Amino acid sequence: METSSIFSGLENEGMRDLTNTLKIQPTYTYEPNILELQPARVVCCMDGAPSKNVNFRGCKIIRLLVSADSSDVTTFPVNLTIAGPCYYTKEDKKDFEIMMRTREQSLLMKLPYISKFDWPDYRAIEQCPKCCKRQKPSSSGTRYWLVYQQCIQCTEIGVGTRMMPRLMCEECFESITDEFYVSVVVGSGFEAVGPETIAPLLDVIEDQGPITWLQNGQRLANHVDGTFLGAYKLYCAWEYSGAFQAMCDEIGRQMQSAMGDISENQGFEYNFVGQQQAPPSTYWEMSQIPDKEGRVCDYDGCANVHGKRVAPKPGKKKGKKTRLQECLGCFDVMYCSEECQKAAWPDHKAVCKEAQRKRKEEEEKGKARQKIDAEEKMAAALASFVPLSITPQGGGGKKKKGKKGGAKKKKGKK
């Protein structure tokens, strides 16, 4: 393979020296890997804000790793961590332009540049790792997938690594993950409480909400339409939770164990393919097992089936795959698009409102039970508390009388 064909055109010299490409090679094959991040106290470092310590509670993340049987192992593997689906707006672009500035751009912006190494600017985020097309900000709701790519470069001052966010076309993302299945169970935290089964990877990710690492179907507040966020907000959600730094630390440790010696006189030797993979976790926890295979959109005027492709648009080879999403009001019906949800709302409104009312009543009853349980525990604790008899440290009362007598004598002298 020619050296020029393996690069996307945005890599700097230090990355090229280590054949660290921003482009997924055509000979790559991927396999999913669930990595468990342990609870830890991490330092959250957002650009332009003071660092703060975060008590990271632990989570599981889904990675796409270049498989060991890929025929091309001459490049640094483009391993990806799935951040989640997202929009890409003009506001996102402005934020990424500042966050991903180069040293030269920092001088023009009159902003400090903290890193010892110079990295590609925001254009690397906009460039799809697979087709290398630049994503353009849009207000039309075009969906992308935010992924993280581990990058590395070698310069005169040493070796630097960075976890770089990338925006991937939905079509390109599906072409990699379309046939992937993972083991899932109904779980709470990291404890399995239900039977293990197999489910499509895309269904597992989308049923968990806008962020792939959230456990037990938790939803992130203030997201745009109940499904996904803007790209920069999604990145910030990872950062502020501590998940981003915990991921960087864990993957950094794996890289360190796989790297050979580096010096100015020696070449860089590594074998990341296969070795970089940590033992995969046995399951991915969910609040419920996704059951969408063969299900039709619940809007009467639509016949789209989950997992089936719709007719391709003009100029496209393949149509978009139908992905059903739950109604966030009742969680009982599913629609393939926002248009179908709006069209079905007049007929669905009464049922949805009733389901929300019942769920609110159950939540209030649950809170009341928790309050009663807490009060009962406190009452039991107070009832079992026996105070100890406390003896004054000075001894008996004779000394106290002596003190009083002494005080009277002084008064008598006056």
3-state secondary structure of 139: coil
* Cβ atoms 125, 166 nearer than 8 A: yes
Beta-carbon contacts of 322 under 8 Å, excluding residues fewer than 6 positions away, are 297, 304, 305, 306, 307, 308, 309, 310, 336
- Distance, CA of 178 to chain centre: 20
| b (16+ CB within 10 A) / e for 233-256 | bbbbbbbebbbbbbbbebbeebbe
Give me the helix-helix angle, 90-99 and 231-241, nearest 10°: 50
3-state secondary structure of 211: coil
Q: Is 9 left (phi over 0), alpha (psi -120 to 50) or beta?
A: left
Give, for 184, the enclosing helix (H) or strand (E). strand 181-188
Which pLDDT tens digits describe the chain residue by residue (414 residues)? 444 588 999 999 989 988 889 999 888 888 888 888 888 888 877 665 667 788 888 888 888 988 877 655 578 889 999 998 888 999 999 999 988 888 888 888 888 877 788 899 999 999 999 999 998 888 777 889 999 998 988 888 888 888 999 999 988 998 888 888 877 765 544 455 556 677 788 877 776 666 776 554 343 433 444 457 889 988 988 888 888 888 888 888 877 776 654 433 333 333 333 333 334 334 444 444 456 777 889 999 898 888 787 877 777 767 777 878 878 788 788 888 888 999 999 999 999 999 888 888 888 887 888 788 778 877 777 776 655 554 555 544 455 455 555 545 555 554
How far apart are alpha carbons 173 and 128 in whole angstroms? 9
Instruction: Choose among 150, 113, 124, 121: nearest CA to 248.
Output: 150
* Cβ atoms 166, 151 nearer than 8 A: no
Cβ count near 103 (within 10 Å): 11
First-to-last alpha carbon distance for the chain, in angstroms, is 111
Per-residue confidence (pLDDT) for residue 276, from 0 to 100:
38
Per-residue confidence (pLDDT) for residue 350, from 0 to 100:
92
Beta-carbon contacts of 166 under 8 Å, excluding residues fewer than 6 positions away, are 22, 80, 124, 125, 127, 128, 129, 146, 147, 148, 149
Question: Nearest-5° angle of CA 130, CA 184, CA 335?
Answer: 70
Eight-class DSSP state of 313: P
**C-alpha radius of gyration, the chain, whole number:** 29
How far apart are alpha carbons 144 and 235 in whole angstroms? 13
Give, for 199, the enclosing helix (H) or strand (E). strand 197-200
Per-residue confidence (pLDDT) for residue 195, from 0 to 100:
64
Beta-carbon contacts of 196 under 8 Å, excluding residues fewer than 6 positions away, are 183, 184, 185, 282, 283
User: Identity (one letter) of the amino acid at 55?
Assistant: N
* Cβ atoms 76, 161 nearer than 8 A: no
How far apart are alpha carbons 8 and 64 in whole angstroms? 20
Per-residue confidence (pLDDT) for residue 281, from 0 to 100:
39
Per-residue confidence (pLDDT) for residue 181, from 0 to 100:
81
User: DSSP letters of 353-400?
Assistant: HHHHHHHHHHHHHHHHHHHHHHHHHHHHHHHT--PPP---TT-SSHHH
How far apart are alpha carbons 293 and 287 in whole angstroms? 18
Global confidence as pTM = 0.67
Per-residue confidence (pLDDT) for residue 4, from 0 to 100:
58
